[in-house]
Structure 1
Amino acid sequence: MTELDQKNEICHKVEECYHIIGKKWMALIIYTLMKEPKRFSEIHTFIPDLSKRMLTERMKELEDTGIVIRNVIPDRPVRIEYSLTRKGNDLGTALQAVEGWAEKWL
C-alpha cells in the first residue's frame, strides 16, 4: 500500500467517524452512556428534547455500528439497558476532549 493509499484510507475512516457522530443527538447519547448503562427512559429523561422515535432510530444506528449494546435483563418485568461497547467507550473518551474544548471556548 502506498503512502497516498494510506492517507486516503485514513481520510475515509475519519469521514465515516464524523458521519456517525455528526448526526444530531449521537454524541449526547454516547455521553449519556459513558458512566453506566441506562434504560431507554433514562436516556430520554437526560435528553428531553429528543423524541422517543428519534431516540429509537439513533439507538438502532449505534447498535448497528457496534458502539452500543442492548442488554436484556430477565427480571420481572424484563428490563432493557443500553451500554457502550469497548468501541463505544473509546469513542466516548475521544468525545470528552470535545467536551473540554466546548467548556473552554463556547
Structure 2
Amino acid sequence: MGSTQVDSPVTPETCSVTRTLSFVGSKWTPLVIFHLLPGAKRYGELQHLLPGISPKTLADRLQTLEGEGLLTRTVHPDKPPRVEYALTRRGRELGEILDSIAAWAES
C-alpha cells in the first residue's frame, strides 16, 4: 500500500501497513511508547505508569520494541545496576504518528 500503485495482489502478510498496525496494535505497546515519549524511564516507573500490566508482559513489550529498533536499553554501572529505556529516533517518529492517530480517534 502507500502512495505507490500496486498491480500485484496484496495480502495481510505482504502489506506493510497491515503488519505495522498489527504490531502497534498489540495490547500495551502504544501505551509503553506514549510513556517513553517525554524521556527515558526505568522499568519500575513504567510499571507504575501502566497499572494492570503484568511484569512478564512489560518485559516482553520492552524486549520486542528494542528488537524492532524502537527503543534502547541502557544499563548504568551503579550499585545496584540501573536500567533505563528510551525511544530511538525511529521510536519517537512512531510516537508522533500514534499522537496523530489518537487525535484523529478523539475527533
Range of TM-score over shorter length? 0.7 to 0.9
Equivalent of residue 40 in structure 2, options 20, 37, 40: 37
Count how many residue pairs are aligned between Structure 1 and Structure 2. Answer: 102
Residues 76 and 5 (structure 1), Cα distance of their counterparts in 2 relative to 1, 3 Å cut? farther
SS in 2 for 1:4: coil
Hey, what does 2:28 align to over in structure 1? 25
| TM-score between both structures, scaled by the size of structure 2 | 0.84
Question: Runs of 4 or more off by more than 4 Å in structure 1?
Answer: 5-8
Judging by fraction of residues, say which structure has more helix.
1
Q: Which amino acid aligns with 2:30?
A: A
Q: TM-score, normalized by length of structure 1?
A: 0.85
Specify the code of the residue in structure 1 equivalent to 2:104.
W
Q: Which amino acid aligns with 1:84?
A: L
Alignment equivalent of 1:68, drawn from 62, 71, 78: 71
2 CA distance for matches of 1:6 and 1:34?
38
The equivalent residue for 2:80 is 77
Query: Are positions 1:4 and 2:6 aligned together?
Result: yes
